[in-house]
Structure 1
Amino acid sequence: MTITLSAAPTRIRAELEVLDERFGKIAGDEYVECLYDGGRWLEGPAYSPAWRCLIFSDIPNDRLLRWDEVSGDVSVFRQPSGYVNGNTIDREGRLVSCSQGERQVVRTEYDGTRTVLASHLDGRRLNSPNDVVVRRDGSIWFTDPPYGITSNYEGHKAGQEIDGCHVYRIAPDGALTVVADDFIRPNGLAFSLDESQLYVVDTPGKHIRRFDVDGDQLIGGEVFAPCEAGMFDGIRLDDAGRVWAATHEGVHCFDPDGTLIGKLLLPDVVSNLTFGGPKGNRLFITATNAVWSWLLTASGAPQPWAAPRE
């Protein structure tokens, strides 16, 4: 089923706050494009170069949607979706998703079937997996706050079986371990360019923390940046190691040294973002009911499925 974009403007002028000259050098188009505006609460954008599309979640409507890069059409990718939140693409080009409703991390295989990658820890159900990233060694890392079980809006209301809200690692052999257990509600996460560090959002804590990665363990966890506009949600890195973060007023961009260098302000609360497009320099942004796109001079960090850029 193809969904038609409603009558809202398809582009608006990009409202930027350049706080440091370093941001001015990477800002691109003077406008942002609205690719779709018919959602209820959109999340989890993941760009597939093989399919030339953006997959994203419409959580309360229990569906995954697909924006086609060639035609511009938006269609239903899967419904019901299991109240999927975060998505990513693994090294083999498969979709890995956080199913809040099913309280699982699942992978969509080439034939469309789904494989459950994680659902329980020591016999207890996960809370509601939220966001996910894949490392080049094949391990999968995800966060597990309770948003999908606190009400029936984004999942199914239920009690927590696991004490606390943790960050997890799924080893290439499928073993599930807790790698960080001192969060209020962990949310977005992203690896540094060399994957020696992991950035993790603590949404109620209103900050991003940065850990050193030591094999299958996380060390440290100092605050990398505080949020000055509501709370952080999803995060991504570009190819210079800058951190791009979803906030209540738009997208904030941080230099690798932690300095907030600029903002892209949008009319709605931003939930998540990802880089994509043929050159990796198109920033896709989910914001409440809409998906926005902004073309930059910077490109996203190389993904596990991509050959290193020259």
Structure 2
Amino acid sequence: MAAPTARPLKRRGGKAKAGVAKPGRISGIFAFPALLVSLVFTLGPIAVIAAFSFMTQPEKGGGVVFAFSTAGWKQFLFSEDFFGNVSFDSRYLQVFGTGLWQALLTTVVCIALAFPIAVWMAMKSEKTQRALLLFIMIPFWTNLLVRTYAWILMFNENGSVNTVLEAIGIGKKTLLYTPFASAVGLIYTFLPYAILPLYSAVAGFDFRLVEAAYDLGATKGVVIRRILWPSVSGGVLSAIALLFVPAFGSYIQPVLLGGGKVLMPGNLIASQYAEARNWPFGSVLSLIVLLLTLLGAGLVTVWAKRSSQKVSLSI
């Protein structure tokens, strides 16, 4: 006797009706309050700053006068003397150039330091990896301001760094309130943000591919370039996004460690809102920083799409 053949079950009523929620899903109306709050607290301040950038600065005090003006945008590139002569002014471009240089230096140094650390951590046992991750997370348990003041004590004229330099015969150096101190503070602050995404990418890498590449005659440079780098490039891009953008707008390190001698966009914006009381121009600078940030994010996205490739053993 032939075994009965299984027939495909038919859905009652034919195709599923449109608008009927599938099992395990909820209606989008429940997410509407969260989306509304997110839009209000993200796009709302940006809209206010954009509106302020086209307002007029009052003659006395801070705030804005609700009268349309493009003086803030013109002030970014041009200056006007007492006789009304307008000339090109590159002072603010130099400030943004300093910010870009400090952010680029911080990003490159942090990734160069974090990459071998992440590879070394990924090759340890799971217990050791958890302990190392704990050590990396410890700085986050302390306020950034407190950690920055600790660097002030170390870079001081009688601090521990100068004490070591004097002991080895180099002599005391002026370290505090210099671009060097500001750069060191930025690198120290953002180094964990580079290690964590790189470690996450390297931890999922199959190191047997490296052994296979060595068996095929590959050198260390080829292994890093053709095997390891394609697998961790996503972590590198994440590290760049986490480093460059906040480093570009940093405020604490240039002020406390640089002593105000290292003027970056964050310090310039704060001075326009506080000391100069020029809110329209401060809003203009804020929008320019936002546009540069969006441009950088777009470039990283394009780079990520172009660099996405599979790991290959072809040497």
Higher RCO (CA < 8 A, seq sep 6+): 2
TM-score, normalized by length of structure 2?
0.20
Higher helix share: 2
Which has the larger strand fraction?
1
TM-score, reference length from structure 1: 0.21
